[in-house]
Structure 1
């Protein structure tokens, strides 16, 4: 029997001046001391012609911005309101998983597609939106990162969300990064320039092929290991069903390692492998991370221990994690990754 043609991924309409951007915190909200950064970012976007709607679920009364029912309702409203063309949380958080069973996937799929942008705990719901509806999302900078200028050769989330259908977006490793996490936005709410104090680029780490040239192709699926590992392979993140419907040619997996030690990451990746997360993988990209290593067992060792047996290329130290700068990557887009002595690049097409 001939293979069935893949279903087309849907891309939201390109963002244009006059469009409305919704800001809500489906996980952690913003403490009062950092609220000036929210206002400066709103002004930055408004100066570029966008309307910005700050939702009711944005403050930080606890580890979440509001009760889960309220957070889910606000997220659903923004995802299905035709006047809101992008939803960008301030950042991730800790327990955004609690609202997954409150999201009406059928309503999201029936609505005009809306850009969803973010990383970290945001991927707990953002990646399932792509997997379950076939709508492309952006694994990239958060709302609170919007003021930062990205290095030459990389894309800002606004660049990606504004790109017309059919555009090819090519991003390159800048070879520079920041060795620690976030600026002190309370002291300097308008921080917009990263200080890169580290030098280095991607490393191929799969056994027997360290640093060998390789080209990977497939549709991209990204997620934060510390959050996506809890839902990988289940009803909310059935990556194999997604591949069957949208990407029979296979997938390029992107993993963001945020903070867990190397033993915890190793266990999480083994679990993801056992749940079928990598069954259709053509290759894996792993973030650069400042997460701790165990004695004699590095973060690279953890990845190889769990995923080296897959027999696919594994490229580490990619700008897809919690250390700046951050690539803005399209979940669901056809992706070509080139790794050789002269080039470390990711090309994606909005098709």
Structure 2
């Protein structure tokens, strides 16, 4: 595994939109987010692929060129998109994978549709990536027990980083950035711990982390861009901790997607499955938890759900490629990552 150098004051952080850009109504929030990064002492540079008028920020070839240029520029130490979107999948055959692999590793940060790029980047190149807060989330202060992508990106090589569930989350919706672009406090109005779906027993398990958004990764499973088994052979002979999260699809759709990912071998090397908390819809005969159990219980590994790694705030940033130790018990819900 290759871990990018830790972020240091004076480093350059680049912003581009590999999927959706920033509409005019969100520009005030975008400005606050850039300020939050600059306040840490970083130089922020904004690319040209930022148009928010449509569902993508620019034609695919332009987005691919800009992202490749940023990931291969030795002066750029991190690339952070504003948020996800819908069709980042169109970039995958257009990225210059040879150049990205040959370059000094650069942190790529994000989640949701950005999983479409993060996960293949780690699987194909062995370069670690951060699945966590997008740029627009950066002004938020992390609740006790959790870290931000900026803290993880600044960690030293070999660092061990523990995060504990705060036991609180936001029950529905997101803040209105149009009305309150300055918001920096997360509304966590509900209580909730992690849930083991396959048993009631405590769990302590280790493995190298890999995963992302179900709705985007299900379309990559079985392709050269999601060769999880090959990654495990090269970098995780002792197995993986695979995490997945549902952005918004109903339980039937998530169930089908997870069955397909399993059949394509996405979970073959998993020592455990981590599932992000979701507010996506249940159906009359199948809940989101039941959908996961239906598709993945046959694997015979622990399945830990309601973890803070999805579209429900707060966010627990996970490093694709990090060595991890997961603990689930009546007294502890923790994930410890080692950047090695």
TM-score normalised according to structure 1 size? 0.96
Contact 1:140–1:329 (8 Å) recurs in 2: yes
Q: Which residue of 1 aligns with 2:44?
A: 52
| Cα pair 1:181 1:324 within 8 Å, conserved | no
Aligned to 1:172: 164
Distance apart, 1:26 and its partner CA: 0.3
SS where residue 101 of structure 1 aligns?
A: coil
The 2-side partners of 1:46 and 1:296 are apart by 49
Partner residue in 1 for 2:178: 186
Q: Deviations over 1:33-62 (max 9, x none)?
A: 000111112122222210001111112121
Matched, 1:117 2:106: no
Q: 2: CA distance between counterparts of 1:256 and 1:53?
A: 30
Specify the SS of the correspondent of 1:216.
strand
Q: Which residue of 2 aligns with 1:270?
A: 259
Residue 23 (structure 1) aligned with residue 18 (structure 2): no
Question: Which secondary structure does the structure 1 equivalent of 2:225 belong to?
Answer: coil
Q: Does residue 299 of the first structure (1) align with residue 288 of the second (2)?
A: yes
What is the deviation of 1:167?
0.8
Give secondary structure in 2 for the equivalent of 1:138. Answer: strand
Residue 248 of structure 1 aligns with which residue?
237
Cα deviation, residue 104, structure 1:
1.4
Number of aligned positions between the proteins? 340
Deviations 1:146-189 (A, max 9, x none): 00001111110000000001110000000000012321001010
- Asked if 2 retains the 8 angstrom alpha-carbon contact of 1:217 and 1:282, the reply is yes
Match of 2:221 in 1: 232
TM-score (norm 2): 0.99
Q: 1:155 aligned to 134, 147, 150, which one?
A: 147
- CA-CA distance at 1:233 after TM superposition: 2.6
Instruction: Determine the structure 2 residue equivalent to 1:4.
Output: none
Aligned to 2:82: 90
Which residue of structure 2 aligns with residue 5 of structure 1?
Answer: none
- Measure the CA separation in 1 of the matches of 2:39 and 2:168: 30
1:12 maps to what in 2? 4
User: For each residue in 1:103-156, what CA deviation from the matched residue of structure 2 results, as whole angstroms up to 9, or x when unmatched?
Assistant: 111111100000010110000011100000000000100000000001111110
Q: Which residue of 1 aligns with 2:119?
A: 127
Counterparts of 1:184 and 1:232, CA distance in 2: 34
1:51 and 1:171 mapped to 2: Cα distance? Answer: 28
Contact 1:119 1:223 in 2 (8 A): yes
Write the distance in 2 (CA, Å) between the matches of 1:194 and 1:123.
23
Work out which of the residue numbers 197, 221, 227 in structure 2 matches 1:205: 197
Measured against aligned partners, the alpha-carbon deviations of 1:243-264 in whole angstroms (never above 9, x if no partner) come to 0000010000110111000000
Structure 2 gap segments, 5+ residues each: none
Deviations 1:282-319 (CA, angstroms, capped at 9, x unpaired): 01000110100110210000000000111000000000
CA contact (8 A) 1:221 1:253 kept: yes
User: What's the secondary structure of 2:224's corresponding residue?
Assistant: coil
Secondary structure of the structure 2 residue equivalent to 1:315: strand
- 1:238 deviation in Å? 0.4
What is the deviation of 1:21? 0.5
Structure 2 residue aligned with 1:257, among 246, 259, 264?
Answer: 246
Distance of 1:112 and 1:222 partners within structure 2: 23
RMSD across aligned C-alpha pairs, in angstroms? 0.7
